[in-house]
Amino acid sequence: MTASLEKIINQKMAQAFNELGLDAKFAQCKTSDRPDLSDFQCNGALALAKQEHKNPREIAAMIAAKLEQENCFTKVSVDGPGFLNLNLSNEFIAENLQQMSTDKDCGITKTSSPQTVVLDYGGPNAAKAMHVGHLRAGVIGEAVRRIEKFIGNKVIGDVHLGDWGTPMGMILSEIIAADGDLSKTKSYDIDQITEFYKRANARCKEDETAREKARIITAKLQDGVAEYRKAWEHLRKVSVDAIKQNYDALDVNFDLWWGESDAHETCKEIVKIAEEKGISELDDGARIIRLDQSEKPKLPPIILEKSDGGFTYHTTDLATIKMRVDNLKAQEICYFVDQRQSLHFEQVFKAAEMLGIAPNVKMTHYGFGTVNGADGKPFKTRDGGVMTLENLIKLSKEKVQDSMPAAGEVEGYGAAEIERMVEQIAIGAIKFQDLKNNTASGYVFDMEDFAKFDGKTGPYIQYAIARINSILRKAAEKNITLGKIKLTLPQERELALKASQLDAVVWRAHLEKEPSIIADYAYTLAQVFSGFYNAAPIVAEENQALAASRLTLAKLVRDILVLLLNLLGIASLEVMLKKS
Ligand code: ARG
């Protein structure tokens, strides 16, 4: 395993500080904000001087003199009030990159203390078509799942299916209204079931008696009445099959297919624990927990058990936490769920703490913003319909097709190959459009440009990879082999420094659970490569050593981009056809 450039420099900084008897906590440096001036910068001398009541420039000068003894730096200068600007030698950068190029993980370091992390990024509801809202949870969660695994954590992705609430009772009630009983339920497919749900929903909105009926049936279902359970099992199975198809199309994967229903028994335990601990009370027939006893309560109380004996969304989440901690030994639980549920999670985390069901377990809600259309309203199809995932994938494929030659136009590429390519690019376009935005902010789905082969898109990066693949094939034909990296042109140096940031970037994405950091970096790296390749020919380069060095750089960048797309859950293609 190699250490990243940033880590090595930070080590050298810390060592210099220590040797000078200075507090090494100020030794941290980072990639320079002014690449025209320096490669790395350290602003620590300013804070240190303040603490020690000394002159910052003098301290900085002392550190600079020490660092200059190291031959990895060509220049260390003190600028402004006491900034340290560090410039690295080409040999040092090249040496580090050379090591990255021979490492199967491109030099990315693994965690030294693996954790068991449970990720909650599903939450689709049985009998409801999946829409773009579910897209974000799945796409972000899948990326985080891959990043966490890569770093070396034990990761468990749980779909946490909504299969247990009132909607289930509503559908059963609607079927009984139509058929007289539940005997025909087993013959219904997903479309029919979704249709029942829509009708039930409309009816319950208007009709109090219908709502009451649905409520009673839900309670009986949860109580285990056989007839309802059997019918429900069919609803659940058909829904899961449909949901799996959607997730498969997006290459979003789960290790566990637990649903809210699986938490039912544990919900009873939660109520019991709350009673035993004396933290719950009866309020109008319902058992509640007051989360905050202060005069101005910040968090409203939660209902654990309704007066009819039913459990709530809060109880289900608490029970699920208990199961994840007891059965899965979770040390960290991350929720990728719509921002609008942030109060719910604040309440759940507080209640979990009071119940003592997850001691020392880190729980975080990574709330994401909404996907909107160009009009700023929730994203719809062109004719105003709900944008289901299926619709979105279809739309994306049409867009991608516009940039590609038709089947038969390019020798060796028939309909099946083209279709496969279109599919991988279309999914990459959808996912990247989502992942390039940071999780917390919502975004406008850019219908015009999201699937273009240039601009900040998934296809652009896939294309950059395919282009390097083509360079590698041509180089092989000309017997150019990989060689020792030597940085001569400024564009080579710029690319080398960019590539050297890989480890730091992936670690930042891991620590912040923020895939957009990787998406951003992949895009910039592809762009910098493009600048490099314009200035530094490979196949046409006559100097063999130079060609071999550049080939190594190109292959490394290809490997990095493939790795990054893989972390984002996006496929890389060996070849990508583009309409001329
Ligand atoms: N099914 C829920 C919904 O549609 C989302 C579930 C999110 N996960 C959780 N553990 N609460 O709103």
* pLDDT mean over 130-135: 81
Residue 123, ligand 1, Cβ within 6 A: yes
Q: Is 575 within a domain?
A: no
Quick one: tokens of 290?
């007051």
Q: Whose CA is nearest to atom 8 of ligand 1?
A: 123
Residue with tokens 């829904």: 239
pLDDT for res 488: 96
Average pLDDT over every residue of 265-279: 97
Give the pLDDT mean for 547-568.
98
Residue 219, in any domain of the structure? yes
Q: Is the pLDDT of residue 334 over 60?
A: yes
Q: For the residues 262-270, what does the mean pLDDT come to?
A: 97
Do 402 and 522 reside in the same domain of the chain? yes
C-alpha closest to that of 269 among 202, 325, 216, 215: 325
**Domain span including residue 218:** 166-250
Residue 563 main-chain phi, psi, to 5 deg: -60, -45
* CA 348 to ligand 1 centroid distance, Å: 13
Question: How far does the centroid of ligand 1 lie from the alpha carbon of residue 236, in Å?
Answer: 16
The Cα 392–Cα 390 span in angstroms is 5
pLDDT of residue 19: 94
**Average pLDDT over every residue of 286-290:** 96
Q: In this structure, are 399 and 529 located in the same domain?
A: yes
Whether residue 167 has its Cβ less than 6 Å from ligand 1: no
Residues 83-116 have pLDDT tens digits of: 999 999 999 999 999 999 999 999 999 999 999 9
Residue 52 lies in a domain: yes
Q: Ligand 1 centre and the CA of 161: distance in Å?
A: 8
Is 430 within 8 Å of 393 (Cβ atoms)?
yes
Does 435 share its domain with 534?
yes
Q: Do residues 75 and 187 share a domain? A: no
Inside any domain, residue 324: no
Bridge pairing between strands 40-42 and 116-120: unpaired
User: Same structural domain for residues 448 and 552?
Assistant: yes
At 135, list the tokens.
């897209």
Taking only the tens place, the pLDDT of each residue in 375-434 is 888 777 777 777 888 889 999 999 999 989 988 888 889 899 999 999 999 999 999 999
Q: What is the DSSP letter of 302?
A: E
Instruction: Check whether 554 has a pLDDT greater than 70.
Output: yes
CA of 162 to the centre of ligand 1 (A): 7
125 lines ligand 1 (CB under 6 A): yes
Q: Which of 88, 110, 126 is the last residue of a domain?
A: 88
User: Is ligand 1 within 6 A of the CB of residue 128?
Assistant: no
- The bridge status of strand 73-79 relative to strand 116-120 is unpaired
State whether the beta carbon of 499 lies less than 6 angstroms from ligand 1.
no
3-state secondary structure of 554: helix
Q: Which two tokens stand for residue 249?
A: 């199309």
> 250, 272, 299 — which closes off a domain?
250
Nearest CA to ligand 1 atom 12: 123
pLDDT at 250: 95
Q: What is the structure's pLDDT at 539?
A: 96
Burial (0-12, 13-18, 19+ Cβ within 10 Å), 505: buried
Half-sphere exposure of 299 (CA within 13 A, CB side): 19
Q: Which atom of ligand 1 is nearest to the CA of 345?
A: 11
The backbone region for 242, taken as left when phi is positive above 0, alpha when psi lies in -120 to 50, beta otherwise, is alpha
What's the CATH number where 425 sits? Answer: 1.10.730.10
- pLDDT number for residue 148: 98
Written as six digits, the tokens of 284 are: 């109008």
Helix segments in 165-207, DSSP class H: 166-179, 190-206
Could you tell me where the DSSP H helices lie in 224-336? Answer: 226-250, 264-277, 313-326
Q: Do 507 and 406 fall within a single domain? A: yes
Q: Percent of the chain at pLDDT above 70? A: 99
In what helix (H) or strand (E) does residue 52 lie, and over which residues does it extend?
helix 44-52
Q: Which of 24, 57, 88 is the last residue of a domain?
A: 88
Hey, which of 160, 256, 336, 363 would you mutate to test ligand 1's pocket, going by the most ligand atoms within 8 Å of its Cβ? 160
| The token pair that represents 142 in the structure block | 């899948």
Centre of ligand 1 from the C-alpha of residue 145, in Å: 18
Distance from residue 370's CA to the centre of ligand 1 (Å): 15
Q: Please, which pLDDT band fits residue 1 given cuts at 50, 70 and 90?
A: very low
Assigned domain for 366 exists: no
Query: Do 444 and 533 fall into the same domain?
Result: yes
Q: Determine the average pLDDT of the residues in 465-493.
A: 97
Q: Is the CB of 515 under 6 A from ligand 1?
A: no
Chain mean pLDDT for the chain: 94
Q: Please tell me if the CB atom of residue 520 comes closer than 6 angstroms to any atom of ligand 1.
A: no
Q: By alpha-carbon position, which residue is closest to atom 7 of ligand 1? A: 123
Q: Is the CB of 396 under 6 A from ligand 1?
A: no
> Residue 2: pLDDT band by 50, 70, 90 thresholds?
low
Strand boundaries in 6-113, DSSP class E: 30-31, 40-42, 73-79, 83-88
Residue 282: which pLDDT band, with cuts at 50, 70 and 90?
A: very high
Q: Residue-wise over 373-407: b if at least 16 C-beta within 10 A, else e?
A: beeeebbbeeeeeebbbebbbebbbebbbebbeee
**What is the tally of structural domains in the chain?**
3
Mean pLDDT along residues 324-341 = 97
Residue 536 and residue 410 in one domain:
yes
Q: Is 117 helix (H, G, I), strand (E, B) or coil?
A: strand
Beta strands in 109-181 (DSSP E): 116-120, 154-158
Residue to probe by mutation, ligand 1, list 337, 344, 347, most atoms within 8 Å of CB:
337
Alpha carbon nearest to ligand 1 atom 5, residue: 123
Q: Do 212 and 170 form a contact (C-beta atoms < 8 A)?
A: no
The arithmetic mean of pLDDT across residues 267-275, rounded, is 98
For residues 39 and 32, the answer to whether their CB atoms sit within 8 Å is: yes
Q: What is the mean pLDDT of residues 508-521?
A: 98
Q: Indicate which CATH number applies to the domain containing 9.
A: 3.30.1360.70
Ligand 1 mean position, distance from CA 337 (Å): 7
* 337 C-beta closer than 6 A to ligand 1: yes
* pLDDT value of residue 94: 97
Q: Which of 16-30, 389-403, 471-485 has the highest mean pLDDT?
A: 471-485
Q: Whose CA is nearest to atom 10 of ligand 1?
A: 317
Q: Are residues 186 and 73 in the same domain?
A: no
CA distance 271 to 356: 13
Q: What is the pLDDT of residue 377?
A: 82
Ligand 1 pocket member 317 (CB < 6 A): yes
Averaged pLDDT for residues 327-335: 98
| DSSP designation for 285 | T
Q: Is 260 in the pocket of ligand 1 (CB under 6 A)?
A: no
Lowest-pLDDT range of 36-40, 138-142, 408-412: 408-412
Q: Is the residue at 68 inside a domain?
A: yes
Tokens 């690449």 locate to: 35
- Distance separating alpha carbons of residues 493 and 530, to the nearest angstrom: 13
Residue reference for tokens 């810390």: 14
* Amino acid type, 336: F
Does residue 194 sit within a domain? yes
